[in-house]
Structures are given as structure tokens and as C-alpha cells.
Chains A and B, each alone.
Chain A
Amino acid sequence: MITLQEIKKTAKLAKIEITEQEAQLYTTQLSAVLDWVAKLQEIKTEPANQTDPACTYQRPDIPVNFEDAPALSAAFNDKKDNFLKVKKVL
């Protein structure tokens, strides 16, 4: 179960603007989803079986230059002198 207030807070944390109508709809829908996935809590688990080896492969982090920088800056929505331009932060 998730409340309307929690949905609004979650949307804000996810940085997604939602309308009042969406907030109401997602409250119902996410409540159903969260109640369903909460089924996992009925399984007794040990702290040890937490890490997933599939996510722990390690490789050296070696930077390489991207060969086509202009292709990246071409996608900028706003730019000045080939730098990304954004709205004021504060």
C-alpha cells in the first residue's frame, strides 16, 4: 500500500513531474504492484546470500577518447561555443 503523499514524494525523488490525475492513478496502480512484490517478504533469507556475483566482475577502468565528439555535442539541446548550456542552477 502506498499513499498519495508517498507517490508525490517518490515522483519528486525520481525527478518526474506528474499531474494530480496521474498521482491518483499511480497510487492505485503502484499499491497493487507493491502489495504483490511484497510476497517476497514471506521468504526467510540470510544476510549472506545478498551479493550477486553476476554484478561483481571487475575490470581495470581505462579511459579512452571517444572518436566522434561533435556527434555528441550535436545532440545538445542548448549550447554555447560547443559547451552544453543549462538553465540556472539556483
Chain B
Amino acid sequence: MKTARQILKEIKEGKITAVQVVEESLKVIKELNPKINAFLEVFEQEALKKAAEIDAKPLDKRGRLAGLPIALKDNILYKGHKATCASKMLENFVAPYSASVVEKLLKEDAIIIGRTNMDEFAMGSSNENFAFGPVKNPHDLTRVPGGSSGGSAAAVASGMVSVALGSDTGGSVRQPAAFCGVCGVKPTYGSVSRYGLVAFASSLDQIAPITLDSRDNAFILNIISEEDKKDSSFTKPFELKEEDIKNLTIGIPTDFLAGLNAEILKALNKAKEAFIKQGLKVKEITLPYAKYSSPCYYILAGSEASSNLARFDGLRYGYTDKTAKDLEETYLKNRAAFGPEVKRRIMTGTYCLGSAHAQDYYLQAQKVRQIIKEDFKKALSEVDIILLPSTPSTAFKLGEKINNILELYLADLYTVPANIAGLPALSVPFGKDKNNLPIGVQLYGNYFEENKLYALAKILEEEK
């Protein structure tokens, strides 16, 4: 499998054309997608046409991504193309405009090759909450790819594309990246515009790249992270630079790792050794409130979702039930088109925001969020980076946890805190378990310090 950098270099040097790159990508998709179900739609003719246009362009007029096929998670809008969020609610919705990140990719001459499958409205960690069939893990077709950006992670891991965009609200990029053995980041909150991303939980959502390695990841994040007045949460762009890692200290939160699966703990220790070998210091730290991140997340994300998803009434766009007699019944029947997990989340949020419960649930969760942030602030004043696993287990079997909601919710245990605190976190594949399934380790850094994460990821990538 070629990285994005290799592909771009070969196109630039004239060793291969953009059309050939797209053809190769389409060939792999045709061969593997019937088994993996990563793509919901492939823009075959359009991608080939765009590639031919790029090939005809003089070298000095081409953008930085000229000829590179990129897949989009199906909650990111691309004008004139469907964006369904893998939901019956938006089955026929055509995007009337493009997301800012898509505009940036197109400006750099990337080729949007298709839209990838996901958990409905990005709610889930197994890609089993779907309207259009589950995604399978390319490493073992009987297992889940993780979620919610499972289609994007599986597409990269199986070599269909070298880059895919996903969105991460509680781990939806990093968790599937870990399950599929690829690299996924959750950038600092406010460093990538969400304009044109279907909103799930606005205080947590970030768009992010999934790639084969950390260098590609930094390269793509650098391109999509650009100031955008259309997203008022935008704070500061990510600027790619070399980082001096000599004096960095890595923190290991021993309390948060209690009870961790032995094989994943072993990988984590191996990562620690690799850092020590490079002369980095390692220090034990505590994160006493980190374990509250998951329950905190399910209250806040549910509450924000109940508000954000109120827009789906099936009137201006989306699913419509023609049997309704009046407006109230129209709402009720149209919104019944949401799948079970989306209904559960909206109802959890509605309940937590209700006047009788807001004090105990929503407001308490907001307060706890601040305490968790303080927890990380304190830890990151003592160390530069926090080392964590990406997931509590490797990829589980399809259907294994579908009836145990709480167990599924805990698949996000180590990814959710980054969203709660707004911190950047990077998942890097590092070794495999006894079933030959990828293990991901995760690096948490301070706000806007993604460069440190990428620099340390290189150490892990070279160690393997």
C-alpha cells in the first residue's frame, strides 16, 4: 500500500498519472467493497474525469494534492452529491453546498472518490447502527471496524484509498483507526472548520483525517486546518513543523489504566520502552476524574444531539411520511425514521435536559466536564504527553456487543476524554494481539501541540 506522499511524488515525477491512480483505487474498491462495505457510493466517472483534467494541467498549476483520491465520511457535505449519514432520514438528501474542508481539498486538486459508511449520524463505535449494512474489519471480516468512521478507516486499511476524512465526537476517528490498524487523529477543538459537517454534538465534534501513517496524517491535517469564518468555534490553524522531542516527558496515568487488557498493556509498555530508548523521560501521573469522561460524554453528547437533530423534521428535506394528517403528526412520523441508536441518544438527551432532570444530569455533566479538564490541565503541566491505549480491547466480533449498550459505550473509554477536554489525541497502530488484530496506542498532548504527537508517533512507527 502506498502512502499519500508516495502517490503524490510519483504523480509529480511523471511515473504514474492521476488517471492511473484513480483506476487503481477503483479496482481495489470493486474487488473489496462487496465484502467490506466501506463505501456507500463511488463517484467513478466523475473521479476519472477530474483525474484526466489534473493530468492535463501543467505541473506548476497543480495543487498540493493533485491526483490524490480521498474518501469522505457520509456526514461531510460535497455539493451535488448525496450525504446520508447512513440514515433512512437522509437517504435521498443531496448536499446544496460543500463543507469547508471539502473546498480546501478540491482547491488542492484532490479527487473525492466516494462517500464512506458510518454509524448512523455518527452515533456508535461498531458500525452496526446502520441503514445500509454493517462495515467489516479488513483484518477479519467477522469483526467490526470500530466506529463511527468505520467505513473511512476500513477504506484506508484495505488500500482502497490512502486518505479518508472522518469525524470524531467521542473517538469516532481514533477508535476505528485503532481497530483497523491505521492512523487517526482528533485535533484540538477549534482547529478544523466543521462548516458542512452534519452536527452531532457541537462542543465535541471535529473533522479529522485517517491515513496509513502519521506523516500523511500531519500533512492532510495541515491542509484542512485553515481559518474559516463559517465556523465560529474556529480558533487557530494547525501549522506543521519539526518538533524537538529531546526533553519531552511522557506521562503514564496508572489509575486510569487499572484493569486494562493484558495484551494492550504489553503494547503500551513496549511503546514506553521505545520512548525511553530515545532518551525521553517517563513519569507516572494520575487522572482521578478521567474515568468519569464516558458517563459525562453520554449526557452531554445526547443533550446536544437532541438539540442538533431537532432540525430533521422531514419538511425542508429528508424522510417524509405521507400518511400524516397534521403538522404534529408529520413531525412524529417523519422522525420515526431515525434508527434505534439515534432514537436512544435523542431521548437520553431530551430526558437529561428536561426541567425535572437538568440539574442532576446536564448541568452536573457540564460541571464535571470542567473538573475533567482541570485534571488534564494539571497532568499536562507535569508532563508533555500522556500515553494511553486507543481502545480497551482490539476489534470485537460483529453482533458481540450489539445487545449490551453499556459495553459498547465503554469502547470509547480512552478516546472520549480528549473530546471532553478539547485536547488533541493521535491513535497510532502499534503491534498486534494473539488473533493478529491491530492494537492502537494513543498520545494526548496539550492544546495545539499536535506536532509533538506526530513527532512521537514516528518513534513508534520506526520501532515496529
Chain A residues with CB under 8 Å of chain B are: 2, 6-7, 10-18, 22, 26, 29-30, 32-34, 36-41, 43, 45-47, 49-52, 54-55, 57-59, 66-68, 71-72, 74-78, 84, 86-90
Q: Give the complex CA separation of A45 and B320 in angstroms.
A: 44
Binds A, one of B45-53, B367-375, B392-400: B367-375
Name the 9 nearest CB pairs between A and B, nearest first: A71-B96, A75-B317, A45-B367, A49-B370, A17-B332, A37-B295, A77-B320, A17-B336, A15-B331
The answer on a CB contact under 8 Å between A33 and B348 is: yes
Question: Which chain A residue shows the least CB distance to B343?
Answer: A16
For residue B224, CB closer than 8 A to chain A, the reply is no
* Interface set, chain B 351-366, CB cutoff 8 A to A: 351-352, 354, 360-361, 363-366
The answer on a CB contact under 8 Å between B295 and A40 is: yes
A40 and B364 in contact (CB under 8 A), knowing A15-B331, A30-B348, A77-B320? yes
A45 and B364 in contact (CB under 8 A), knowing A17-B336, A87-B330? yes
The answer on a CB contact under 8 Å between A34 and B371 is: no
The answer on a CB contact under 8 Å between A16 and B336 is: yes
The answer on a CB contact under 8 Å between A86 and B330 is: yes
Contact among A13, A29, A45 with B405 in the assembled complex (CB-CB below 8 Å): A29
Q: Give the complex CA separation of A51 and B352 in angstroms.
A: 17
B interface size (C-beta, 8 A): 66
A33 and B354 in contact (CB under 8 A), knowing A52-B369, A68-B96? no
The answer on a CB contact under 8 Å between A34 and B96 is: no
Contact among B317, B344, B409 with A26 in the assembled complex (CB-CB below 8 Å): B344
Q: Give the complex CA separation of A12 and B94 in angstroms.
A: 29
Task: List chain A residues, Cβ under 8 A from B144.
Answer: none
A43 and B330 in contact (CB under 8 A), knowing A14-B350, A33-B344, A54-B190? no
Query: Chain B: interface secondary structure?
Result: helix
Q: Give the complex CA separation of A29 and B344 in angstroms.
A: 8
Q: Give the complex CA separation of A12 and B232 in angstroms.
A: 32
The answer on a CB contact under 8 Å between B316 and A33 is: no
Contact among A2, A66, A76 with B317 in the assembled complex (CB-CB below 8 Å): A76
Task: List chain A residues, Cβ under 8 A from B352.
Answer: 37
Binds A, one of B108-116, B124-132, B321-329: B321-329
Contact among A11, A32, A68, A78 with B406 in the assembled complex (CB-CB below 8 Å): A32
Task: List chain B residues, Cβ under 8 A from A12.
Answer: 332
Chain B 283-295 near chain A by CB (<8 Å), digits 1 or 0: 0000001001001
Q: Give the complex CA separation of A38 and B313 in angstroms.
A: 31
Give 22 A-B contacts (CB < 8 Å), ordered by A residue.
A11-B347, A13-B354, A14-B335, A15-B313, A16-B347, A18-B336, A30-B347, A30-B351, A36-B295, A40-B368, A41-B364, A49-B370, A54-B203, A59-B232, A67-B97, A75-B93, A75-B316, A77-B315, A84-B316, A86-B315, A87-B329, A89-B326
